[in-house]
Chains A and B, each alone.
Chain A
Amino acid sequence: MLMNLFCSSPLLAAAAPRRGFWMPEQASTVSGEIDSIFMLITWISVFFFVLIVVLMGYFMVKYRRVEGHKSAASPSHNTPLELTWTIIPVIIVIVIFYMGMTGYINLRSVPVDAYEIDVTAQKWGWTFQHPSGAIETETLTIPKGRPVRLMMTSQDVLHSLFIPAFRVKQDVVPGRYTYLWFEASATGRYDLFCTEYCGTGHATMGAVVEVYEEDEFEEKLEELLRWIEDIPEERLFVAGKRLYNRCVQCHSLDGAPGIGPSFRETHELWGQERRLADGRTVTVDENYVKESIIYPAQDITEGYGNLMPSFRGQLRERELRALVQFIRHLDRFDDEGNLLEEWQ
């Protein structure tokens, strides 16, 4: 019965077949070890708790005050006894500490060949960027059986990336990089939470981790890059909006200059002359925008530095076109980047 209670609850078995009573399903290589540390501490706690409560209950009943009964004389201190219950906990906590530390060192030691994903947190959403350039926001697609390392930073306030099934968590801090690694050990879909309070949307700042077998994963990744093929040519600007994720740090949509000129400005100059830093002028058109993305250093816009990374090789032809269409038809979006009603 007790065992049942602590390992898996029959009550909840139907709801969540793979969950334990305490811990969610084990889906990463470290979860087993962490769960066993957790259970060890829990059992130690149960032992002491039961010991204390049983003694307390027993004394409560046995030495209950009855008429005429006086408290029996018993020593008011006993140093050996007191030292005993000092030293035993000391030993126990040292063991616990040690196990916790080794488990933690595992959690922080990234295997060298880890698959790297860049993570950017923003109020209130995540952007995951794969090495191939594929970007996702609602899901995090990863392979099973391959170590994955997340390099994370935040655009605004603190966030924290938490995947209960993997037993990993790390705050995402603006102005610096933090990392996290794990190796999924079971395919499936798992929750990803934001666990550092970040304001209004904190409770909904989640995503789903999707773990696939290696070959399936490659396919998914392809798909992530290919999604754009499925969008009809005349609505490519919508796809461009999605790709804009990668430009958002430097280009705004509301006209405010950032590291680079706002796309709103570029849009408004469409078909007109643009002054460059070296004094030349150039007409803002499809070609110019494309060139700007692939060879940013060629035409430095006046008032800005040569800071834009080249996206050559990272964007395919159709994606490029989508971005161009997006900038060209920016009047179909509002300043926050939402599609206006009539274009939905």
Chain B
Amino acid sequence: MNNDRSKTSSPESHDDHHGVGHVVPIRYLVLNGIALLILTVITVAAAQIDFTQWDIYELNVIGAIAIATVKAVLVCLFFMHLFWDRRFNSFVLVSSIAFVGLFMALAMLDTSEYADDKIRGDSENIQRLLEEARSASGSAE
């Protein structure tokens, strides 16, 4: 009875079975760690480049997110064993991200659509706060 269960439920075939689960060699982990550190350096460096001089402001954002995504994928695949795990676990992760993406896309679309209806400038309340700050700090004039 247990036989067909454990057959279907064992991970991918290259599992050399020390007990349960897949053992990831330390070598892989260290390499992965180094890759992550290098990518961190790259992100910081890339942020210094002035893409605005070529009129492409958002490239900084896109680049940073792209690198962060690569890092995240590395963490997931190797540190978190998803590379060797059941595909369903990856599916769970990916779908959670997909739902965040869905939420984000629709919410951004809407808020940008009605952005023009907003009353510009500081709200009355903030003006009041500033006024208070001014009289409190005594730095006016």
A contacts, CB < 8 Å to B:
153, 175-178, 249, 257-259
Contact = CB atoms under 8 A, between A and B. Distances in A.
A155 to B, nearest CB: 9
A259 B127 contact: yes
Interface in B50-101: none
B124 A153 contact: no
Interface string B124-135: 100110010000
**Majority secondary structure, B binding face:** helix
Nearest to A179: B117
Contacts of B127: 259
B118 A176 contact: yes
A259 B130 CA distance: 12
A177 B124 contact: no
Nearest to A173: B117
A153 to B, nearest CB: 7
A176 B113 CA distance: 13
Contacts of A259: 124, 127
Given A153-B119, A176-B119, A259-B127, 14 more contacts: A175-B118, A175-B119, A175-B123, A176-B114, A176-B117, A176-B118, A177-B117, A177-B119, A178-B117, A249-B124, A257-B131, A258-B124, A258-B128, A259-B124
Contacts of A175: 118-119, 123
Contacts of A178: 117
B130 to A, nearest CB: 12
A249 B127 CA distance: 13
Contacts of A153: 119
17 contacts: A153-B119, A175-B118, A175-B119, A175-B123, A176-B114, A176-B117, A176-B118, A176-B119, A177-B117, A177-B119, A178-B117, A249-B124, A257-B131, A258-B124, A258-B128, A259-B124, A259-B127
